A = this chain, B = another copy of it.
Amino acid sequence: MATLKYSRQREAIKEYLASTTSHPTADTVYMHVKTEFPNISLGTVYRNLNLLADLGEAVKITTPDGGDRFDAQTIPHYHFYCKDCGSVIDMDFNNIEEINELASQNFDGRIESHTILFYGTCGECLTRS
C-alpha cells in the first residue's frame, strides 16, 4: 500500500547512518542531520529510522540502557555493549568458541556477560495467525 515518496530528510538520515559505525541513538542522528536541516524534528528522525528498519535498510539494536541504537550495516554481526558508557561496538567472529577467545584476547577480562536474543515468531503466535 504505502507508496514510498522521496524525502531529503530521509536521504540525509540514511547518508549519516551509512557514514558512521558508532551505532548512534535517534537523538544523535537528529543532532547530526540538524546541521543540514535545521528545522527537522525528532519525530521525523524516529519515523524514518523505524521505516528504514522495517525496510531492512537499517538495524535497530536494543540496549539495556533504554535508548535504541541504529546501524546501517545490515549484514548480521555481533555487538559489544559497554555497560559503563553505553557505547556499542562491532565484533566479528562466527562461533561461541571465539567468544571466549575474544574475551581473553581482544577484551582480556572485560567481557562480563553476554546475551543472545533470538527474534522470530513463537509457536503460539504462528498458530493464531
User: Using a CB–CB distance below 8 Å, which chain A residues touch chain B?
Assistant: 60-64, 68, 76, 78-85, 87, 89, 91, 94-97, 99, 107, 110-126, 129
Contact A89 B122 (CB under 8 A): yes
CA distance A129 to B84 in the complex (A): 10
For the complex formed by this chain, how many copies does it contain in all?
2
Contact A120 B110 (CB under 8 A): yes
Contacts of A110 in B (CB 8 A): 120-123, 126
Measured CB to CB, the nearest residue on chain B to A77 is B116
- A85: contacting residue among B60, B94, B119, B125, CB under 8 A: B125
Contacts of A129 in B (CB 8 A): 84
CA distance A29 to B84 in the complex (A): 28
Contact B78 A121 (CB under 8 A): no
Contact A81 B121 (CB under 8 A): no
- A124: contacting residue among B68, B87, B119, B123, CB under 8 A: B87
Contact B83 A120 (CB under 8 A): yes
Contact B116 A82 (CB under 8 A): no
Contact A113 B118 (CB under 8 A): yes
Known: A80-B118, A112-B121. 11 other contacts (CB 8 A): A63-B117, A81-B120, A84-B122, A85-B122, A95-B96, A110-B121, A113-B118, A114-B119, A115-B115, A115-B118, A116-B116
